[in-house]
Each structure stands twice: as C-alpha cells, then as structure tokens.
C-alpha cells in the first residue's frame, strides 16, 4: 500500500487529537486524556515546541472506512542522557488498526530514528505496557532492548498533591 511519512503541521492537530484518543482507548485509558486539539496546537507548533510530530498519510482511494487519510502518527522530543548525551524519546507511535501490517509503524519509527541521528542523538527511548505483546514483539524485532527488565530501571512519577507538597517542602 502506498503511504507517505511527513512532518506534522498545525492543520494535522485535529487528526493527531483523534488518533491520541484512539491510542488511549487501545491502552484502556481514554478517560485520562486531558489535552485538547488546541493544547496540541499551542504546545507543538509555537516558537519553542514541547514535542514534534510526524504523520503517515495514504492517498484518497485508500482512505479509512470513516474517510480519514491520516492513518498514523508519532510524537517525539529530544531528551538527554547524563551518560551518553543527546537522545530522542518517542512518546507515541500509532497506526489505525485497519492500516496495520503494511510497514507504516516501522516507517514512522524509522523516520524518528533518522531525525534523531541527524540531531546528534545516540539512543532512542520509549515505554511500552507489559501486556502489549504485539508491540513488545515488534520492538524487540527492531533491535530494541527492555531497559526495565535488563537493568531493573523503574519509571517513577510524582504528580498532583504529592508534587504540590514536595514543592512546598512538606514531608
């Protein structure tokens, strides 16, 4: 199947927002999505963006059942490893179910890799849910390794009240 991979623009935020919700549903967490299309426009397309996006698009005659031509996306940003330096973090990678198995996911990930390498990054990091077997298999096949499993690194979070208390110096 014919598809193109290109940088996301402001106009893509409507479809990115739609697909973010689809991905959240797949991860059984759609009630946790607070970011709107408008937030994406401001946070991703202003002078100092907090993320970058790439889109997978198919031609007219291959549009989805509901008429969408933008059928996949990836959101990424640059991070820093205190051991290795510049790194790229792939926050989201998603392809609509009816377009899977055609190399679109791999092409999106390949693009993020290219952009990361061009920016001087030496590693690409991302997280995967442990029950997501098809994604885990896909990533392991691409030469990725499980840092949590191999090095025992756990992802931690401090948010909401805990963050506020920490900021105020309460213990």
Partner 1 sequence: MSNFHLRKAEPKDVPDILRLIKELAKYEEMEDQVILTEKDLLDDGFGDHPFYHCVIADVPAEHQKVEGYSVIGFAMYYFTYDPWIGKLLYLEDFLFSCFTGFGIGSEILKTLSDTAVKNRCSSMHFIVAESNKASIDFYKRRGASDLSLQEGWRLFRIDKENLLKMSAYE
- By beta-carbon proximity to partner 1, the closer residue of 66 and 150 is 150
Vertex 76, ends 75 and 78: CA angle to 5°? 160
User: Rounded distance, CA 106 to CA 86, Å?
Assistant: 22
* Active-site residue set: 139
- By beta-carbon proximity to partner 1, the closer residue of 60 and 159 is 159
Shortest Å distance, C-beta 46 to partner 1: 12
In the chain, the N- to C-terminal Cα span, in Å, equals 57
- By beta-carbon proximity to partner 1, the closer residue of 1 and 35 is 35
Shortest Å distance, C-beta 97 to partner 1: 19
Shortest Å distance, C-beta 170 to partner 1: 9
User: Rounded distance, CA 102 to CA 161, Å?
Assistant: 44
User: Rounded distance, CA 154 to CA 171, Å?
Assistant: 23
């Amino acid at each position: 199947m014919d598809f193109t991979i290109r940088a996301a623009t402001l106009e893509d935020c409507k479809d990115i927002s739609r697909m973010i919700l689809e991905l959240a549903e797949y991860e059984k967490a759609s009630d946790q999505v607070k970011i709107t299309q408008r937030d994406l426009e401001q946070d991703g397309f202003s002078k100092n963006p907090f993320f970058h996006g790439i889109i997978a698009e198919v031609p007219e005659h291959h549009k989805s059942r509901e008429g969408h031509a933008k059928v996949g996306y990836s959101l990424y940003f640059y991070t820093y490893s205190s051991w290795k330096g510049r790194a790229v973090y792939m926050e989201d990678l998603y392809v609509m179910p009816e377009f899977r198995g055609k190399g679109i996911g791999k092409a999106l990930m390949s693009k993020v890799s290219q952009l990361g390498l061009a920016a001087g990054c030496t590693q690409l990091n991302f997280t995967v849910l442990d029950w997501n077997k098809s994604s885990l298999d896909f990533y392991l096949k691409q030469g990725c390794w499980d840092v949590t499993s191999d090095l025992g690194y756990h992802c931690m979070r401090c948010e909401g009240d805990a963050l506020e208390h920490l900021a105020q110096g309460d213990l």
